[in-house]
């Protein structure tokens, strides 16, 4: 794939945080990007301003998985191809198993796993028609090593790893690579409410001594999507050494 090839990538949760960083990185590589948003169309439109012909804001809410086929259709109508998915959108809700409301607990799993699976399923025919298809799923290192107060989120993020590896085995002979990115703590709105005390503890437990930045994680996601051509079923940890 050259830097100028008309490759189309759908990024969920592309309007803010890590997803916005992924959108920017792909635009810089000359890609066509369908930038998924849930409620913040304005932020997705701002990203479009940098490359009006190559960024298409598309509405996709993990809570409304039934729209997945429509979303894929919109991307194909605009760009003609869909070569890659970067399934970044996710939602966090924490609490200990003993105290968290069971319905709220299950909702975290349903959104994070169900919303990803629905979009991957809807995109498979288009991906199979691509010359170099790939899927990257943004999980979390918490799904790998666990975290107190996060049984729901960790369950969902761990399930995404099993999902990705199984889908990789189902589709590898179609040329589709399916990989997982497992970030540690990254400075975004999702971590904005981490208290100063908790942040200090995390930073002291992190080998590199700091939170990750959005561009660092975005580059890792795009690496898996485009450059890691002999990787499938891989889980790339990007956590500054927090989990080692
Ligand atoms: N930040 C971290 O430390 C960290 C660590 C490990 C893993 N992750 C994972 O990385 C991914 C991105 O996290 P982030 O920190 O960038 O989050 P963020 O800054 O809170 O941004 C969330 C993005 O996802 C979209 N979104 C939120 N809920 C959604 C839903 N129900 N359906 C569809 N889109 C939704 C938002 O769209 P709107 O702007 O339209 O609301 C926004 O674009 C998530 O999967 C998260 O679990 C994050």
Establish if 244 belongs to a structural domain: no
Compute, in angstroms, the gap from residue 39 CA to the centroid of ligand 1: 12
Compute, in angstroms, the gap from residue 10 CA to the centroid of ligand 1: 15
Establish if 41 belongs to a structural domain: yes
What Cα–Cα distance (Å) separates residue 232 from each residue in 33, 48, 85?
A: 22, 31, 14
pLDDT of res. 1? 45
Instruction: Specify the residue with its C-alpha closest to ligand 1, atom 24.
Output: 13
Q: Kindly state if the Cβ of 60 falls inside 6 Å of ligand 1.
A: yes
Which is nearest to 31 in space by CA: 12, 56, 49, 5? 5
Q: What are the backbone dihedrals phi and psi of residue 179, each rounded to the nearest 5 degrees, phi first?
A: -130, 165
Q: Kindly state if the Cβ of 153 falls inside 6 Å of ligand 1.
A: no
Establish if 103 belongs to a structural domain: yes
Q: Kindly state if the Cβ of 186 falls inside 6 Å of ligand 1.
A: yes
pLDDT of res. 59? 98
Which residues, given as ranges, of the chain have pLDDT below 70? 1-5
What is the tally of helices (H) and strands (E) in the chain? Answer: 9, 7
Establish if 3 belongs to a structural domain: no
> What's 39's domain CATH number?
3.40.50.720
pLDDT of res. 5? 52
Question: Which residue among the candidates 37, 60, 153, 230 is catalytic per the annotation?
Answer: 153
Q: How many domains does the chain have?
A: 1
pLDDT of res. 50? 86
């Amino acid at each position: 794939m050259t830097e100028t090839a008309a490759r189309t990538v759908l990024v969920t949760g592309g309007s803010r945080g890590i997803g916005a960083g992924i959108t920017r990185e792909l635009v810089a590589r000359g890609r066509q990007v369908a930038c998924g948003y849930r409620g913040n169309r304005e932020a997705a439109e701002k990203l479009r301003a940098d490359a009006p012909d190559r960024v298409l804001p598309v509405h996709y809410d993990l809570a409304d998985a039934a729209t997945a086929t429509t979303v894929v259709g919109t991307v194909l109508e605009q760009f003609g191809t869909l070569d890659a998915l970067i399934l970044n959108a996710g939602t966090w809700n924490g609490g200990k198993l003993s105290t968290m409301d069971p319905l709220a607990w299950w909702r975290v799993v349903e959104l994070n796993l169900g919303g990803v699976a629905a979009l991957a399923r809807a995109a498979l025919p288009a991906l199979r028609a691509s010359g170099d298809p790939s899927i990257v799923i943004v999980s979390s290192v918490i799904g790998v090593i666990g975290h107190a107060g996060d049984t729901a989120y960790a369950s969902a993020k761990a399930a995404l790893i099993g999902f990705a590896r199984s889908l990789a085995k189902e589709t590898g002979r179609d040329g589709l690579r399916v990989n997982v990115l497992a970030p540690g703590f990254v400075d975004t709105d999702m971590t904005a409410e981490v208290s100063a005390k908790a942040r200090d503890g995390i930073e002291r437990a992190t080998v590199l001594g700091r939170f990750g930045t959005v561009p660092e994680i975005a580059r890792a996601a795009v690496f898996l999507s485009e450059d890691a051509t002999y990787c499938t079923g891989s889980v790339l940890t990007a956590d500054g050494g927090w989990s080692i």
